Amino acid sequence: MNKIIEEKIISEERVFTGGLVKVNRLEVILPDGKPAAREAVRHPGASAVVPVDENGNVTLVKQYRAPIADVLLEIPAGKLDFPGEDRLEAARRELREETGFIAENWVHLTDIVTTPGFCDEVISIFLATGLTAGDDEPDEDEFLNVVKMPLTELLEMADRGELTDSKTLIGLMLAARKLKA
Amino acid sequence: MNKIIEEKIISEERVFTGGLVKVNRLEVILPDGKPAAREAVRHPGASAVVPVDENGNVTLVKQYRAPIADVLLEIPAGKLDFPGEDRLEAARRELREETGFIAENWVHLTDIVTTPGFCDEVISIFLATGLTAGDDEPDEDEFLNVVKMPLTELLEMADRGELTDSKTLIGLMLAARKLKA
């Protein structure tokens, strides 16, 4: 028997505005009619790319992430420049800026919500093939190392729990399923 | 040639305390010696479970998520009750509360960081088999519908971009690789 589970949002107000993080407070009516409060980090969204070359190698970036005080191995990705920016265009830009690559073929793999309990961030993930090398142009405050690894080896790392970034795990596993790797 | 990419965190202060969302501001020194500010949503962490029965069916929950104003199909999951809570215990509790199941066999699949650019949330994902049905006991403000679907069908949905929750996509694909489904 299906229960009614939808909540009705009756108001939303900004309660924190940081440089990057913006938090809204939502008043909702629960399915049982009771009022409740929810919080939502409002995020512009992002695009991410799994760039796979003709030998089955993936180009990734190692990047320091201050919130977890650690270096992560991630597929190239970046926030949209403005809300509503074309997500494929954003993916092309991030791939070029972070790795220098231009890709001939683009396939949309999926859109993910990273942590929908308290945030509206949506990341669109693309598979890029037919790669041509160019010059990378990282943002001024972005310090990266570009690494190239076989997709098969990355999948084994995923199986061993050695990859932890969510967009990266999803992009690699969906790309492998698409490419039958 | 590997560049130095680590940042040095020199201070951290709470700048927003909501009911659920807590935001800290970090001052860091970039690899080039320049100062910069970072923001981090501080999260207690969570556990999630892929419960697979002897027929290859997965039990999931449909849940309304106010930040995206939509219903999501998700594997059972929940926040840790306190920082440092045993993540397997939290997974057992969430499985029982949300679906009523008790599982005989538990395998740790991986830990993921959901969105490390601005948040420290880590979700531990477990595969649970040897399921015995009991009574579900959802939290008072938690309205769920429990659904059972074949893992193979869920993977096809993932391939078509029809599943969007990040922990769910990762849990299902890693479980399938582990079970050779």
**Are B92 and B118 within one domain?**
yes
**Strand pairing report for A46-51 and A122-132:** parallel
pLDDT in tens, A57-90: 999 999 999 999 999 999 999 999 988 999 999 9
**Domain for residue A3, yes or no?**
no
pLDDT band at A140 (very low <50, low <70, confident <90, very high): low
pLDDT in tens, B52-85: 999 999 999 999 999 999 999 999 999 999 889 9
CA gap A158, B170 in Å, rounded? 10
pLDDT tens digits, A110-129:
999 999 999 999 999 999 99
- Residue B26: give the domain boundaries: 8-42
Q: Does A121 touch chain B (CB under 8 A)?
A: yes
Question: Which residue type occupies B179?
Answer: L
CB A46 within 8 A of CB A77: yes
Residues of A forming the active site: 140
Whether residue B139 sits in one domain with residue B108: yes
Q: Is residue A158 part of a domain?
A: yes
In a domain, A2, yes or no: no
Q: Within 10 Å of residue B82's Cβ, how many Cβ atoms?
A: 8
Q: Give the pLDDT score at B63.
A: 96
Among candidates A82, A83, A105, A109, which has minimal Cα distance to A92? A105
Helix (H) or strand (E) holding A139: none
pLDDT of residue B135: 72
Within-domain flag for A98: yes
Same structural domain, A64 and A77: yes
CB contact, 8 Å: A152 with chain B? Answer: no
Which of A11, A50, A62, A65 to mutate to test binding with chain B, by most B CBs within 10 Å of its CB? A65
Percent pLDDT > 70 in chain B is 96
pLDDT at res. A2: 79
Judge whether residue A162 has pLDDT over 90: yes
Residue B1 inside a domain? The answer is no
**Token pair in block for residue B154:** 């869920």
d(CA B172, CA B178) in angstroms, rounded, equals 10
Q: Catalytic residue numbers of B?
A: 140
Scanning A38-57 for CB atoms below 8 A from B yields: 38-41, 43
**B19 & B107 share domain:** no
| Tokens (6 digits) for B166 | 């990040």
Gyration radius of chain A's alpha carbons: 19
Kindly report the average pLDDT of chain B as a whole number: 95
- Same domain assignment for residues A26 and A54: no
Tens digit of pLDDT for each residue in B159-181?
Answer: 999 999 999 999 999 999 999 87
User: Based on the structure, what is the number of domains in chain A?
Assistant: 2
Contact B176, A38 (CB under 8 A): no
Percent of chain A with pLDDT over 90: 90
AA letter at B57: N
B16 touching A (Cβ < 8 Å): yes
B147/B58 Cα distance (integer angstroms): 8
Interchain CB distance below 8 Å, B143 and A40: no
Spatial strand order of the sheet with B102-113 comes to B77-79, B46-51, B122-132, B102-113
Both B36 and B62 in one domain: the answer is no
User: How many Å apart are CA B84 and CA B97, to the nearest integer?
Assistant: 20
- A52 and A13 in a single domain? The answer is no
Regarding whether A37 and A66 lie in a shared domain, the answer is: no
**In this model, does residue A141 exceed pLDDT 90?**
no
Amino acid B140: pLDDT: 61
- The verdict on B37 and B53 lying in the same domain is no
Percent of chain A at pLDDT > 70 equals: 96
Q: Does the pLDDT of residue A19 top 70, yes or no?
A: yes
* The Cα angle at residue B33 between residues B32 and B36, in degrees rounded to 5: 100
Burial per residue of B23-36, b for 16 or more beta-carbon CB atoms within 10 angstroms, e otherwise: bbbbebebeeeeee
Distance of alpha carbon B13 from alpha carbon B16, whole angstroms: 9
pLDDT confidence of residue B1: 61
> To the nearest whole number, what is the mean pLDDT of chain A?
95
Domain identity same for A69 and A151: yes
Q: Provide the CATH number for the domain around residue B172.
A: 3.90.79.10
In a domain, A124, yes or no: yes
Are A96 and A120 within one domain? yes
| Predicted confidence (pLDDT) at residue A1 exceeds the cutoff of 70 | no
Contact status, residue A168 vs residue A125, Cβ threshold 8 Å:
no
The 10s digit of each residue's pLDDT in B86-108 is 999 999 999 999 999 999 999 99
Give contacts of B127 with chain A, Cβ < 8 Å: none
Report which DSSP code applies to B3: P
Please check whether residue B3 lies inside any domain of the structure. no
Separation of alpha carbons B178 and B181, rounded Å: 8
- Determine, yes or no, domain membership for B77: yes
Q: Which residue has the higher pLDDT, B134 or B87?
A: B87
Distance CA B75, CA B112 (A): 14
A181 — pLDDT class (breaks 50, 70, 90): confident
Res B2: pLDDT: 79
Q: Quick one: B25 and B92 in the same domain? A: no
Average pLDDT value for residue range B31-38: 96
